[in-house]
Structure 1
Amino acid sequence: EQVRKDLSQKKIAVLEIERKTQTLYDKIAELKEKEPFDILFLRGIENALYEYEDTKRLSGWTEEEIYAYSWKGVPPILSHLNQQRERFSQDFPCSFVFFAPSFAIDYFIQRAPDFFDWRSGMFHFPLTEEELHIKAKKLLADNLEECLKLTAEERVVKTLEIKDLILESGNNPDKSAKLLLREGWLFFSGNQYNKALASWDKVLKIDPDNYVAWSNRGLVLLQLERYEQAVESFDKVVELKPDNYRTWNTRGMMLMALGRYEEALANFEQAIALNLDSYEAWQNRGVALEKLQRYEEALASFEQAIALKADDYNIWHNRGIVLEALERYEEALASFEQAIALKADDYTIWKKRGIVLGKLQRSEQALASFEQAIALKADDYTIWQYRGIALGELQRHEEALASFEQAIALKADDYNIWQNRGIVLEALERYEEALASFEQAIALKADDYDIWHNRGIALGKLQRYAEALTSFEQAIA
């Protein structure tokens, strides 16, 4: 309205560009017929660019392809402006004024250069401090949980808005750091871990003692399986915030990933010392103790975790694993069943339940448990192997053989499967095939006495006694 007052002698019109807009000529022609103008303000060109960015992602383009400046990377609306430039000049003897954020200007420069060269000027309208504060406050309101709820489209919009605000905040390092922290969360929530890492590294260049950035950096390095670097990041977090139990707990998890169980245990115990009510720290302590084969202590830790959080299926699952290691199979079974009651779609629990049922010689129930696990995860070769063992116990040898064949199709280099296949073939009196299976197992693991022993039995059945004797001697050796 202020422009209309300042240029009262000119006819001014406004055209809003929507997300799905790919061409402008017809829209402008239609508007000019209804409302003749000397100056046309075009707002929202970024909306069409947001749509373009999302379309490429949904089409499976890589980040490199999305941002590469090539013919493949020209948004339809900019391609249209490039191609129709002369028609615009001839048919619309007026001024066009585009209101666009900086990223959209970059698009014009890189992907619509013919149209952009037609400009008579470009003006930057900086945000006032108040406007910058309001926009930043709105963007900084989202925490990680909120970021995870965003659609891919919404993340694109927010990321580009943040980039613009970072440019506007050039002389305010504190605000830039906060915006970069949020940019990192947006990338992290979209599984763009390297981009998230780059954002948080930029924060640390601005503020080397920003413990949130160090913590976030450690978490993203954990996702990238760069465990040593993740631990180094959390070393810095511990230095800056030694009284934060979550930091010690997370650092312990990273040390677990590196197989440094004693150090991990010390970290979990420090977390517990800072917060006795942290069920996560008690659970993680239990896992570390289980890895160290200190099963009774691990069990006590899981019991404490359950006292704090009885509806966490992971704790019941881990408790079952420890009880199995202690050969307390009935209690282990009860723990796995409690875990299933809380999380019925986790195949690993059904598998562990089946293993324990097998140890209790309840083969029919074990088989049913393995069937359920397969229904949830058909490409896990270990389940097919355990299923085959259960079927063998039930004297259903043909079905057992088929199960071992499926396991081999998924994992041909596991000697145990070849050995179990040989045992079933032996039970079916198919001794030549059994022998071949044992020999394949030996090729994969020549120092297993059971395989040499079973090979000797198969050779004996084939009345190849001298070879059988050699095989038994190898087993004894």
Structure 2
Amino acid sequence: MEFRHNDNNNLPLTKFESMLKTNHILFFDSEEFENIIHHYLNQGKIALAKKAIKLGLDQHPTSINLRLFKVEVYVFEDKLDEADELLNELYSVDPKNEELFIQKANIFSKKDEHQKAVDVLKKALELTDDVVDLYSLIGMEYLFLDQFEDAKTYFMKCLEEDLDDYSALYNVIYCFEFLNQNESAIEYLNIFLDKNPYCEVAWHQLGKQYFILKKYEKALTSFDFAIISDDTFIGAYLERGKILEKLKRYDEAIENYTITLKLEDPTSFALLRIGSCYEKLGNHELALQYYDRTVHEDPLLDKGWIAITKYYNKRKNYQKALYYINKAINIDTENVIYWKLYSQINQRLNFYEEAERGFKKTLELGNYELNTWLSRGDLLIKLGEPEAAIYNYEQAIEFYPDNAELEYRLAGLYFVVNENDKGIFYLKNGLKHNEEYAFIIEELFPEVLNKILVKNILKTNL
């Protein structure tokens, strides 16, 4: 039983909390203690649950259920040895109590001994008619073991017992998806819907399977049925919007996203998608309005800032693009995509020092794409910092060995700083790996081409 405010059933709870304040010990029957403990555990009030367990056992020392609550708290607190010891005591008293096996399985699960947990839960199945929860627990243990076929079987068993067990339904579909069995998932969902035709969750999941297989019209129909089953089902409207975007039916997509804004507080996802649809329709004013609403609604959503920055970037309004990407970086200084955009925009504005700083930050954040190393190094060359450029490319070549684009740049730089032996080494390597990139020398280091040494190597190898 769960206590609720303004409910006559909460009298034992009120009485118990009053007792704690006054220190006057009052009597409760064991079932009242169980309900009180259950309430506190559900509320996450472990300290109060422990007090109730102690007082309950003081008054009812032989109660199996109260001692099982003590086991549950031990497990929660990772006191697994104490939990195991108490379970062994209880097993000697009541060896056919399925709850003992459930808690034993819980201990095994906490120890990552999931197969043992499965074995114990299967024993519990033999002791009870209330199998749904046990099927679900076994399914979860199989998920931990990455045994998705077995997990799927047990979640299906849950649904055979209770068609409204949406948690089990989600888990069944998760297993199908993990196993890349989308066609089988569709077949299963259609059979399920024959038994439960107004299950909006099943229609929604069916639509998602069709979407994965790019069967967009069938997906749309499935989401239509989800909405017929529950016309407030926001997820179905969002999925319809995504498909309509794929089909370039932007006005209809906007209609679906807009419905979600009326059903609950606006979500940044819906606002962003509406903005994107308006942009594709060429309605730039409304696109900007929705992008602005997106970043206002959720300043931490990077896709919002990226969308509005790219909007201005495409239109070559680099000052505005820079303004928005700076705002984004002020909110999240660790976002790699922000720094890459920051660098690209500054480069277009010929702010080379800022652009180089951005690429450097991108690398510091772990973005080791070849283009990032190349862009930063080329900027250092423009800024007249050959030593820093060499260091940059030497780091890059550790990630991309035998890369001709890096080798020609290192060759040119070493000739510039009069380290001819290294220049020759990298130039010959570059020619060996890809002759077509030899133009890099002419493009980035025209003065190097005048060296007789370089001309001879190029003449011999080209």
TM-score scaled by length of structure 1: 0.56
Alignment match of 2:129 (pick from 115, 125, 129) = 125
Contact 1:237 1:247 in 2 (8 A): no
Task: Flag the 1:179–1:462 CA change in 2: closer, same or farther, 3 A.
Answer: same
Alignment match of 1:346 (pick from 325, 335, 350) = 335
Letter in 2 for 1:125: D
> Does 1:331 find its partner at 2:320?
yes
Cross-structure match for 1:49: 105
Alignment of 1:196-211 (within 5 A): 202-207=188-193
Moved over 6 A (4+): 159-166, 195-201
Cα distance between partner residues in 2 of 1:252 and 1:449: 48
Cα distance between partner residues in 2 of 1:446 and 1:322: 39
Secondary structure of 1:370's aligned partner: helix
Contact 1:320 1:335 in 2 (8 A): yes
Contact 1:345 1:376 in 2 (8 A): yes
Task: Flag the 1:267–1:412 CA change in 2: closer, same or farther, 3 A.
Answer: farther
Letter in 2 for 1:106: K
Cross-structure match for 1:270: 252
How big is each residue's C-alpha offset from its partner over 1:229-259, in whole Å with a ceiling of 9 and x where there is no partner?
A: 5858735535646995412333367x5xxxx
Alignment of 1:40-439 (within 5 A): 42=97, 43-56=99-112, 66=114, 73-74=115-116, 104-106=120-122, 124-126=128-130, 167=157, 170=160, 174-175=163-164, 178-184=166-172, 193-194=178-179, 202-207=188-193, 212-213=201-202, 215-216=204-205, 227-228=212-213, 234-237=219-222, 240=225, 245-251=237-243, 263=247, 266-276=248-258, 278-285=270-277, 297=282, 302-311=287-296, 312=299, 313-377=302-366, 379-412=368-401, 415-431=404-420, 433-434=422-423, 436-437=425-426
Secondary structure of 2:295's aligned partner: coil
Cα distance between partner residues in 1 of 2:400 and 2:277: 33
Cross-structure match for 1:27: 89
Cα distance between partner residues in 2 of 1:376 and 1:241: 43
Task: Flag the 1:74–1:400 CA change in 2: closer, same or farther, 3 A.
Answer: same
* Structure 2: segments with no counterpart, 5+ residues: 1-28, 30-61, 229-235, 262-269
How far 1:170 moved relative to its partner? Answer: 3.2
Task: Flag the 1:314–1:125 CA change in 2: closer, same or farther, 3 A.
Answer: closer
Task: Flag the 1:336–1:180 CA change in 2: closer, same or farther, 3 A.
Answer: same
Letter in 2 for 1:181: L
* Structure 1: segments with no counterpart, 5+ residues: 2-11, 58-65, 67-72, 76-101, 110-121, 140-151, 256-262
Cross-structure match for 1:90: none
Which of the pair has the greater relative contact order for Cα pairs under 8 Å at 6+ separation?
1
Cα distance between partner residues in 1 of 2:343 and 2:190: 50
Cross-structure match for 2:23: none
Cα distance between partner residues in 2 of 1:245 and 1:206: 22
Contact 2:308 2:321 in 1 (8 A): yes
Larger helix share, 1 or 2: 2
How far 1:346 moved relative to its partner? Answer: 0.7
Cross-structure match for 1:5: none
Letter in 1 for 2:329: I
Cα distance between partner residues in 2 of 1:286 and 1:428: 53
Contact 2:336 2:367 in 1 (8 A): no
How far 1:167 moved relative to its partner? Answer: 4.2
How big is each residue's C-alpha offset from its partner over 1:90-132, in whole Å with a ceiling of 9 and x where there is no partner?
A: xxxxxxxxxxxx97452579xxxxxxxxxxxx554358xxxx8
How big is each residue's C-alpha offset from its partner over 1:192-234, in whole Å with a ceiling of 9 and x where there is no partner?
A: 9449978786444311676633543665898xxxx54585873
Cα distance between partner residues in 2 of 1:180 and 1:200: 16
Letter in 1 for 2:295: A
Cross-structure match for 1:62: none
Letter in 1 for 2:288: E
Task: Flag the 1:421–1:162 CA change in 2: closer, same or farther, 3 A.
Answer: closer
Cα distance between partner residues in 2 of 1:298 and 1:382: 34
Cα distance between partner residues in 1 of 2:171 and 2:379: 52
Contact 1:355 1:386 in 2 (8 A): no
Secondary structure of 2:333's aligned partner: coil
Cα distance between partner residues in 2 of 1:268 and 1:14: 62
Q: Provide the alpha-carbon RMSD of the alignment.
A: 5.0
Task: Flag the 1:337–1:207 CA change in 2: closer, same or farther, 3 A.
Answer: same
Task: Flag the 1:389–1:103 CA change in 2: closer, same or farther, 3 A.
Answer: same
Letter in 1 for 2:291: I
Letter in 1 for 2:243: R
Cα distance between partner residues in 2 of 1:49 and 1:193: 25
Task: Flag the 1:169–1:309 CA change in 2: closer, same or farther, 3 A.
Answer: closer
Contact 1:211 1:236 in 2 (8 A): no
Cα distance between partner residues in 1 of 2:250 and 2:311: 18
> Does 1:462 find its partner at 2:452?
yes
Cross-structure match for 2:7: none
Cα distance between partner residues in 1 of 2:102 and 2:238: 40
Contact 1:388 1:400 in 2 (8 A): yes
Cα distance between partner residues in 2 of 1:460 and 1:167: 79
Which sits farther off after the overlay, 453-462 or 346-355? 453-462
How far 1:466 moved relative to its partner? Answer: 6.0
How big is each residue's C-alpha offset from its partner over 1:31-86, in whole Å with a ceiling of 9 and x where there is no partner?
A: 98xxxx7x6654432122123224328xxxxxxxx4xxxxxx446xxxxxxxxxxx
